[in-house]
Each structure stands twice: as structure tokens, then as C-alpha cells.
């Protein structure tokens, strides 16, 4: 059964912005029920309802977007054609995902985040409320730079805090932690804790997100919460032994 039929079967209608009767949903690629309005319900997933993605009636998922199993798209989101979201992702209210954006598995996106062309997030990334991505270093309204979008790469398990800004063209290492309100202007090493404007490193973080304790020369770093231990690596630090949370 199609997404549209499932929603209609349960009596779901698109909200009426003009105060009249509710309007039925239209699948992507179909006609709008009102000029300038296109309600979409596009589900891609496993064979059973438990695996099927969820799209809120107020969200727009354009034809050609790919949603993995168990992904949830909440109120007033817009996912463009060509966007790919892995299994188990969650888009909070008012999230925009552009056509060449890529989200891995279990990416959690909080309210009011725009993920533009060129942004790639690996598995288990957390994007805090109202964090900001960009994709052009020198934007001008009168200059078309659509062919100059820069890639921003967010490594596995990384966290970007509320209202942080990630200037385009940088790479955030796996399990790095960008504090709320920070402005990142350069590459970030794996597990690095970044704070301030512009962001500077203020320590190291565990897989579980807690700040590590130990020698500033990277020797004997340990998590005070899960007891995971870390050692130096080429791009930051890496976990050693079997302690700590599973990856």
C-alpha cells in the first residue's frame, strides 16, 4: 500500500493554511491542491510497516529523495530530489535537506537545521538545534556560484552543538564535539572538543561524548564515565582495549 493510501486510510489530511476544510495529501510528482503548495508523502523502506519511514503530513519529500528504513521526517521539513538519508535518521521540525546532501545511518537532526548541497554526514552524527552549514566561501547575490559548492564532511559519531556554525570546506573528524555557538573555520581532528569563535581545541571527547581526562600529551587519556581509554593517532586519538561504549 502506498504512503498516500495509508495516510488517507487513517483519515490524515494536509493542514489548511487558509482556514477552510483540510486538503488531501498529494504524492510527489502529482498536482498540488493549492497554488504553491505541494504536500508529499514518500516512503521508502522495508517490507513491513515497522520498517517503513514516517513522513509527517506537513512535510514535503520530493520525488527522487531516498529515505532509509525507520527514518522519521517531522513537521514542516523539506527533503529535495536526490537527497539520501540512511536507516533510522530523524529530522526534527523545519529541517531542509538539499539534493546532493548525504546522511548516513542514525543521523539525528534537531529543529531548524538546513543541510545544503555538499554536506556529507556519516553514521551516528548529531546535529544540534539551529546549527548552520554553508557551501560557498564568498557568496554574493549578484554572482552565480552554483558550480563552486564546497564539500563539508562530518565524520562518524560527531556532535555539532546548538547554534554552532560550520564554514564550508572543512572536515570534522570522527567523534569530534563542536560546542554550542562555536564557529568552525578549519579541519577538526577525531575526538577533538572545539569551543569558541573562531573554534579552538579545548580537549578530547569519548565515544560517549564525555570529556576525557589525562595527560595533555595524549598518554593515558581515559573517560571518567565509561572508563574507555585512548591513545594518540595520526588524525587525533583512537580508543584502545575493550572498555567504553560499543562503536
Average pLDDT over residues 212-241: 82
Residue 204 in this model has a pLDDT that exceeds 90: yes
DSSP 188: B
User: What are the start-end ranges of the H helices in 86-226?
Assistant: none
Q: Return phi, psi of residue 3, to 5°.
A: -60, -45
Residue 62 contacts residue 28 (beta carbons within 8 Å): yes
pLDDT given for residue 247 in this prediction: 53
SS3 146: helix
Residue 127 in this model has a pLDDT that exceeds 70: yes
Residue 41 in this model has a pLDDT that exceeds 90: no
Average pLDDT over residues 123-149: 95
The least confident of 37-41, 180-184, 197-201, 229-233 is: 37-41
Handedness of CA 80, 82, 86, 88 (dihedral sign): positive
pTM: 0.79
Mean pLDDT taken over the chain: 82
Cell readout for 189 is 581532528
DSSP 197: T
Residue 137 in this model has a pLDDT that exceeds 70: yes
Residue 96 in this model has a pLDDT that exceeds 70: yes
Q: How many residues does the chain have?
A: 247
pLDDT given for residue 241 in this prediction: 75
Rounded to whole angstroms, how far apart are CA atoms 182 and 162? 9
Residue 106 in this model has a pLDDT that exceeds 60: yes
The least confident of 23-27, 70-74, 93-97, 204-208 is: 23-27
pLDDT given for residue 79 in this prediction: 98
Residue 184 in this model has a pLDDT that exceeds 70: yes
Parallel, antiparallel, or unpaired: how do β-strands 54-55 and 72-73 relate? Answer: parallel
Residue 18 in this model has a pLDDT that exceeds 60: no
* Range with top average pLDDT, 6-10, 121-125, 210-214: 121-125
Average pLDDT over residues 89-110: 98
Q: What is the dihedral of CA 107, 160, 235, 194, to 10 degrees?
A: -170
pLDDT given for residue 215 in this prediction: 65
**What percentage of the chain's residues is helix, strand, coil (to nearest 5)?**
5, 30, 65
Computed on alpha carbons and rounded to an integer, the radius of gyration of the chain in Å comes to 20
DSSP 5: H
Amino acid at each position: 500500500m502506498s504512503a498516500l493510501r495509508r495516510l488517507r486510510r487513517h483519515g490524515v489530511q494536509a493542514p489548511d493554511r487558509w482556514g477552510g476544510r483540510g486538503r488531501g495529501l498529494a504524492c510527489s510528482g502529482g498536482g498540488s491542491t493549492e497554488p504553491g503548495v505541494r504536500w508529499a508523502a514518500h516512503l521508502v523502506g522495508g517490507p513491513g510497516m515497522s520498517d517503513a519511514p514516517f513522513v509527517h503530513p506537513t512535510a514535503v519529500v520530493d520525488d527522487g529523495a531516498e529515505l532509509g528504513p525507520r527514518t522519521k521526517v517531522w513537521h514542516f521539513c523539506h527533503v529535495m530530489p536526490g537527497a539520501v538519508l540512511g536507516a533510522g535518521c530523524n529530522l526534527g521540525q523545519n529541517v531542509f535537506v538539499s539534493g546532493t546532501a548525504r546522511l548516513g545511518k542514525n543521523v539525528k537532526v534537531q529543529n531548524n537545521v538546513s543541510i545544503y548541497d555538499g554536506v556529507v554526514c556519516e553514521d551516528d552524527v548529531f546535529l544540534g538545534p539551529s546549527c548552520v552549514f554553508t557551501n560557498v566561501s564568498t557568496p554574493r547575490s549578484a554572482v552565480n556560484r552554483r558550480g563552486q559548492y564546497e564539500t563539508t564532511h562530518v565524520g562518524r559519531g560527531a556532535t555539532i552543538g546548538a547554534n554552532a556554525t560550520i564554514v564550508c570546506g572543512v572536515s570534522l573528524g570522527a567523534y569530534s564535539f563542536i560546542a554550542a555557538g562555536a564557529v568552525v573555520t578549519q579541519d577538526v581532528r577525531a575526538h577533538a572538543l572545539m569551543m569558541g569563535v573562531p573554534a579552538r581545541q579545548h580537549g578530547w571527547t569519548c565515544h560517549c561524548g564525555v570529556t576525557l581526562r589525562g595527560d595533555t600529551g595524549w598518554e593515558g587519556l581515559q573517560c571518567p564515565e565509561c572508563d574507555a581509554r585512548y591513545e594518540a593517532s595520526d588524525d587525533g586519538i583512537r580508543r584502545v582495549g575493550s572498555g567504553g561504549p560499543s562503536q
